[in-house]
Structure 1
């Protein structure tokens, strides 16, 4: 009998808008709460670490604050490994163009996707980011998620992932589609299943493919949810507003559309989105799928997220789904 599993994943990163936020409030503090939650529930999570951020911290380590932030992150990543959590590679290549002044980051998103670089440049970025992540975390990385879900075209990733012995991707979600100045992806041709093998096209299953796509579980959201979310954050910000102190990259058109049309989204643990996880698992069960992949961000977790996550873990166990790493 095939074991049923839920993989709870987090993209470990700062914000990329007008303010990146602090490492304490966006990464360290919420991750410490996740560590405590995992201990209490005796489960393990998967953290996709924005390795470009670490690489740039090291590059600017002549500044005391950058050096101190890298030291704190290093300690936390090694603790995560020690406690059995999985560390995956998360690549946001726009860090190549970002500058640190000793106090804050000057962000540039001119080259947000790996395909905004030449193929040799893209390969070099993955190589150096993964090598530094493995050095910092003291672990062999086996899984990958593209920054901003921008995994297309896969040719910009394939050879570098093979060279680094990374054969698991978790960037795709069914019916996902986004076209924006900074980033874009189109998963409308992806299958409505939880995992598949592939070679050259992340949306095209191939029986003998060398890569495995662990698809992020999809969710279709009614506009009423976003209205409810907006009101909850306004009326009770301490419970429902994200604890991270930075600013998202904003696509105003996408934000407005959420209030008047259905949204193709994904199983998400950020803020009030975590309240949807139990019903999404019910859908997974109804479709006879053996895996569910949840995506969240420490920076976007709210006070309510941890209680919703704790309830969801209990519910998954009741339904005979094991919370595990890949």
Structure 2
């Protein structure tokens, strides 16, 4: 039997802390045992401090931020974060407290696997503003400082999660980079909206990502990168040190299939997004999902029994779904992964 697993991307529907606790219960209930890879759910409906960007800023080391009408803005390294930045950090701590409490009876007593998510350096740089305005992406020094602060923050975050979940044998850190494709193609608009930021050279794009992925590895975790945007440079991502590639099957370009096949053949992970992020529970059956996965492997010339790193997942986050569909989607990927395992 192969080690094919099932997981989710990260986000879930909801509007308050009770919804987050319920999302944790759903994830642990559906994916807490084989063949699941459970994860810390994100509930961005709670507000800006709970979004992917707010969570990423909560992890930063030695850089402060605050929330402005136009979005998040760095305020420097004074040690005096704004009220919203403090709330983002506090909320992440509360979410980890909830996870620690609920995971005690849901995860195996030893040899457990788990996944956490954090916004990547280029997505943060393309979204967060400098103290004087405009995106961090416009300032070479600022984006370098951001990537290094994120790397240091990730080390501490991994250590905190391991302390809270002592039965973990395998911890995956999924670095979310939905803006990477836009960064390397010069498609990110400036604050005015009338022009675009310059293209970031591929060596620099790789280096910033490498700092963060190396920090994950050095902290004893497994670095993955997720993106569901077309044009994501998966060869660059893998070359920067990602040992897991999380992709939407519908967004894979012809040239990317070879990179994904090479990753699987090397014993690395590929999380294949094959279940829609929104819809009606029961609209898609496990037979359809299983067939899509098997057809893709067949196209690559790969035997399911020889790709233990394959992971079946929704195509993207579940924040736009309702609670019933989110639960059904996780049950669907779990059943489909078991089907693929069985051949």
Q: Give the structure-2-normalised TM-score.
A: 0.51
CA contact (8 A) 2:279 2:325 kept: yes
* Aligned-partner Cα distance in 1 for 2:10–2:138: 16
CA separation of 1:202/1:115 partners in 2, compared to 1, >3 Å: closer, same or farther? farther
State the shift of 1:70 in Å. 4.2
State the shift of 1:218 in Å. 0.6
Partner of 1:124: 149
CA separation of 1:299/1:120 partners in 2, compared to 1, >3 Å: closer, same or farther? same
Q: Give the structure-1-normalised TM-score.
A: 0.54
* Aligned-partner Cα distance in 1 for 2:136–2:86: 28
* Aligned-partner Cα distance in 1 for 2:94–2:10: 17
Say yes or no: does 1:86 pair with 2:114: yes
Identify unmatched segments of 5+ residues in structure 1. 15-20, 100-107, 178-185, 191-197, 222-264
SS at match of 2:294: helix
Say yes or no: does 1:24 pair with 2:12: no
Partner of 1:143: 173
CA contact (8 A) 2:249 2:273 kept: yes
Q: Identify which of structures 1 and 2 has the higher relative contact order when contacts are C-alpha pairs closer than 8 Å and 6+ apart.
A: 1
Give the length in aligned residue pairs. Answer: 240
CA contact (8 A) 2:223 2:242 kept: yes
CA separation of 1:89/1:39 partners in 2, compared to 1, >3 Å: closer, same or farther? closer
Partner of 2:226: 171
Match of 1:37 among 30, 45, 48: 30
SS at match of 1:43: coil
* Aligned-partner Cα distance in 2 for 1:136–1:86: 10
* Aligned-partner Cα distance in 2 for 1:10–1:67: 21
Identify unmatched segments of 5+ residues in structure 2. 43-51, 60-64, 67-79, 185-204, 253-271, 305-309
CA separation of 1:168/1:89 partners in 2, compared to 1, >3 Å: closer, same or farther? same
Say yes or no: does 1:270 pair with 2:283: no
Partner of 2:207: 155
Match of 1:73 among 91, 95, 108: 95
SS at match of 1:214: strand
CA separation of 1:298/1:285 partners in 2, compared to 1, >3 Å: closer, same or farther? closer
Partner of 2:313: 294
CA contact (8 A) 1:46 1:87 kept: yes
Counterpart mapping for 1:3-22 below 5 A:
3-12=2-11, 22=15
* Aligned-partner Cα distance in 1 for 2:140–2:10: 20
Match of 1:306 among 327, 337, 342: 327
* Aligned-partner Cα distance in 1 for 2:206–2:285: 29
RMSD: 4.8
CA separation of 1:308/1:266 partners in 2, compared to 1, >3 Å: closer, same or farther? closer
* Aligned-partner Cα distance in 1 for 2:214–2:251: 34
Partner of 1:283: 292
State the shift of 1:45 in Å. 2.0
State the shift of 1:168 in Å. 2.8
